[in-house]
Structure 1
Amino acid sequence: MSSGKLPGERAGKGETTVSEETRWPAAGLSLDRVTAAIAESAPCVVMMFGAPGSGKSALSAALAHELGDAAAVLSYAAHREEICGDPAEPAANPRAGALLRARLADRCAAGRTTVLDGTHHHARTRRRVRDIAAAAGLPAVAVVLSTPLQVCLDRQHDRPPPAPGKQHGLKVPAPEVREVHAALREALPGLAGEGFRVHVLAPHATTAPDSRD
């Protein structure tokens, strides 16, 4: 995986400056246009694709609402909280991921649209999602949040630090944000080849902060 250092990024004395070169290459679509495109593919599996702080959780909820009563959001963070009481605990990832995928498979078998709220920067995670959709004969859709890196970093300042005795919290460390953002940008050109119908959201459509995922 990339070290997370992007072209044009300059760091100094505790501050990170991100140039225009680090922004997503595509101009992107409005939320209304992406929602309309997804509705044409429904029922389907919608995979949100963005770094921490990109606005995934808020946009996942907005998409599910616009897609109607048959659509629902499955969040990795919510499943971690269900497993261990902590939405930010990485040790819960294996069990939380397995539970989420089981519920996704059930929804796919019932022909229901599901929005997956998560970063999806690992190819193995994306492949599992695509395979579950394919097994049910449903299309897999990738909604890419083109939120600039600097916005993702700035949003961490308003998040609480880890609770006493906890190593992880809703506030994601800057190196992790940069690493995920870089991995997603690197993966973007190959998403269609992985079997996803790809829609890139414009930066202005990603202004609401999200929860850690």
Structure 2
Amino acid sequence: MDIPLAEQLRPQSLDEFVGQEHLVGKGKPIRRMIENKKVISMVFWGPPGTGKTTLARIIAKYIEANFVPFSAVAGGGVAEVRKIIAEAKNNYGLFQKTTVLFVDEIHRFNKAQQDAFLPHVEDGTITLIGATTENPGFEVIAPLVSRSQIYILNSLEEKDIATIVDRAIKFFPKHKFEKEAVEHIIKNSNGDGRTAINAVELAASLSKKITLKV
């Protein structure tokens, strides 16, 4: 199975992470939490392609926690939550290894499903990191919001997209990307890093020489 370029390019450290300097820059809140290895539950609120999943993975890696992805879109229910919690308790009991439960599209979970996370966030069994494109004040239950820190992720700036596009192009050393084509990709990605990478990958699949016509 071919691994999408966006997955191959996924940053593995804060130094590789692009954008969101207000959160991960020197002295900023998420960097401080990671450096102190004292991570609380949180919700990332922002548009697609701004690094929500990647940042959650990096946090788990830095604090040496198990990273467990969980998605409302994939149909995860309360029974699956209970299974994850049982495994988290077992891992901590046997290996003193904590669990970061990453809940993508958390706003798509109903109240009962969100309630299922609550006691385990409270007792520290899991560190919950939710991701949403919707205002968590309206879409996430109040008890969960009150026990989490809300962080806003912004659309990426053009300079950030340019960095990402440059990394993607390096995957295709035998291709020629004309400057105008690169600028077009950057400007039309609308601050979405994944869109930019996908555009480079698609263009490279169509021609060895990428111009505005490709």
Report TM bin, short chain: 0.3 to 0.5
What's the TM-score once normalised by structure 2's chain length? Answer: 0.43
Which one scores higher on RCO, CA 8 angstroms, separation ≥ 6? Answer: 1
What's the TM-score once normalised by structure 1's chain length? Answer: 0.43
